Amino acid sequence: MNCRKLKSWFEERYDIEPFRRFLKSKFVPEHKYDIWYYTGGIAMFLFVIQFVTGIVLSFYYVPFHEVAHKSIIDIVTKLNMGWFFRSLHHWGAQLSILTLFVHAFSTLILKSYRKPRELVWITGTILLGISIFFGLSGYLMLWDERAFAAVRVATGGVGNLPIIGNFIKFFLRGGIDVTGETLTRFYAFHVSLLPLITLVLVGIHLLLVQYHGISVPLSQENEIRGYKPFFPNVLYKDLMLWLMVFGIVVTVAALSPPEIGKKADPLAPPPENIKPEWYFLFLFQTLKFFPGEIMGLNGEMIAIILISFAILFFVLIPFFDKKSNRGERSTLFTWIGVLYTLYFVIMTIIGFLS
């Protein structure tokens, strides 16, 4: 059956004309900042890489604390191309989180969250949070001493939240401390719960983007150079970028596979100069700036409360930025967006260098 026959076979049974009309009616505005539109597509492409490499790794990984570390060593040393798939999964995760941060901060500064796209922004920020949790839960799969200490610090930090902190800590750890139970739990989150939520949220996010159309920054509303059809023009540009990103991930994965540390020992002291993954460094550095005690209160708890409020404000920003919602320029929220971006970048660099 050649392509034309297959096409007519399909068209005899299904009415694809509305779908074709929809694709033809989808246009993307061209302006000074339209390059940022592509970050969402790149993030989605990297998600696909993560799904594929994750499925391959899950065939061989054993989520039991006695053998988890050994199973990874076996994947890397005994399986054909196992080292490459693990490396691809590792670097794909790093790049997808980086792309999501770029996507989020560009949306924030260009105020694409404004009315009527509040839900697009909220689903996007939840997806960013889920991706970070993907990173944390995937990190523990390694079951080496660094991952063990990092998860102990991260879940311990959440425990400082008033009222619900201890419940969340206990729920995440599956006990009072990080143990084999935590590994089983994190594995369940990593391979079933989080992918399921991600698929649903990505679906809603994309549907909402289709429903509202692509947002144009307020400053560019009168500067639009024209509209390009999404299919095929923008899709072809997306394809070229995806190929470049795929090339970069594969090259980094082949040339710089991630190390495997010593097997985690719950009774051993944490290794010296331990640092979390780069996307937690801004939080880690913020916590370091707070003294142990502020006016008789636990300094870490105050830091965690302040960080939680800052994150909540970030998620709910479309509801605070009234001026943008009315279609007016709001310099204050541009500066807030720049401040969030600079804070994240500077704190991550300080955390990396210190």
Residues interacting with other proteins, by CB under 8 A?
73, 76-77, 83-84, 87, 229, 232-233, 236-237, 239-240, 243-244, 246-247, 250-251, 254-255, 257-260, 262
Q: How far is CA 295 from CA 196, 257, 298, 301, in A?
A: 44, 47, 9, 12
Q: To the nearest whole angstrom, how small is the minimum distance from the Cβ of residue 257 to other proteins?
A: 4
Which C-beta is closer to other proteins: that of 59 or that of 236? 236
- Residue 161 is given by DSSP the state S
CB-based contact 338:332 (threshold 8 Å): no
Whole-number Å distance between alpha carbons of 29 and 16: 26
Nearest distance, CB of residue 246 and other proteins, angstroms: 7
Tally the C-alpha atoms within 13 A of residue 281's C-alpha that lie toward its C-beta: 17
- 134 and 190 in contact (C-beta within 8 Å)? yes
Instruction: For the CB of residue 353, give the shortest distance to other proteins in the complex, in Å.
Output: 25
**Nearer residue to other proteins within complex by CB, 192 or 251:** 251
- Provide the strand spans (E) within the chain: 27-30, 226-229, 293-294, 297-298
- Least Å distance, CB 244 to other proteins, is 7
- Are 151 and 180 a contacting pair, CB within 8 Å? no
Coil, helix or strand at residue 263: strand
Q: Closest separation between CB of residue 259 and other proteins, Å?
A: 6
